Amino acid sequence: MLIMKQLVLRNTVVLILVIFVFAMCSKTEDYSNIPEIHFKQFTLRDTLDDLQNSIHKATLYFSFVDGDGDLGLAEGDTFPPFTCDTCPYYYNVFMKVFEKVDTGYQEIIQPISTNYRFRYLEVGQNTTIKGTMDIKIDYTPLSFPYDTIRYEFYIVDRAMHHSNTVVTPDLILNQGDTIIKQ
């Protein structure tokens, strides 16, 4: 009986060790060093700004993954090409907005930049970085009188790898609070 218990105990220990070794050897998923993004959601809320003017408050959500985790810009990024707002990589989210016209789209040229800059994202032991990002956009109906728009956007990492370009679904601005998901 004692020999049987020792045999069961030994087999249990061996089984646990085998499971542990297989768990340690499991492969982690490899991702490209070129960032990849996907549209997640667009929300729109009609509200008032601080001066009680009508305003559309929009948020564009997208997911991202980057294999080497070099996304975002730090405060210390003070050398070209990250230094000035006219430098090509001062921003790291590049957006164009289009108005739906009949069955096609026409780019809306804005008086101010529609590009954004997000801060450096810290990476842990695994260099792959994944997450969801949001961009907040405010529209005043008087200065942005469009009914249906869409965005085309991409991000750029610190090595200046451009992600894929994402095109949002049609976004209808004049129908009140809206949530559009992919």
Q: State pLDDT tens for residues 155-164.
A: 999 899 999 9
What does the block give as tokens for 59? 């948020």
53 occurs within a structural domain: yes
Residues 6 or more apart whose CB falls under 8 angstroms from that of 155 comprise: 35, 37, 64, 71, 92, 93, 94, 162, 163
10 in a structural domain:
no
pLDDT band at 96 (very low <50, low <70, confident <90, very high): very high
Q: Return the CATH number at 111.
A: 2.60.40
Under the banding of pLDDT at 50, 70 and 90, the label for residue 13 is: very low
Residue 74 counted as domain residue: yes
Tell me the H-state helices in the chain: 2-25
Number of domains the chain contains: 1
Residue 157 lies in a domain: yes
- Spatial distance between the Cα atoms of 116 and 80, rounded to a whole number of angstroms: 17
Phi first, then psi: give them for residue 73, nearest 5 degrees.
Answer: -125, 135
**Residue range(s) defining the domain that contains residue 40:** 36-181
pLDDT tens track for 21-72: 554 554 557 888 999 999 999 998 888 888 888 888 889 999 999 998 888 8
Q: What is the mean pLDDT of residues 127-154?
A: 88
pLDDT digits (tens, 9 = 90+) for 98-126: 999 988 999 999 888 888 888 887 766 66
CB 138 within 8 A of CB 12: no
**Considering the domain boundaries, does residue 19 fall inside one?**
no
Has residue 84 been placed in a domain?
yes
Written as six digits, the tokens of 128 are 């792959």
The residues with which 181 forms a beta bridge, in sequence order, are 41
Q: Answer yes or no: is 5 within a domain.
A: no
pLDDT band at 8; cut points 50, 70, 90: very low
| pLDDT confidence of residue 7 | 47
Query: Domain for residue 17, yes or no?
Result: no
The whole-number average pLDDT for the span 71-82 is 78
Q: Is the pTM of this model over 0.85?
A: no
The pLDDT value given to residue 110? 83
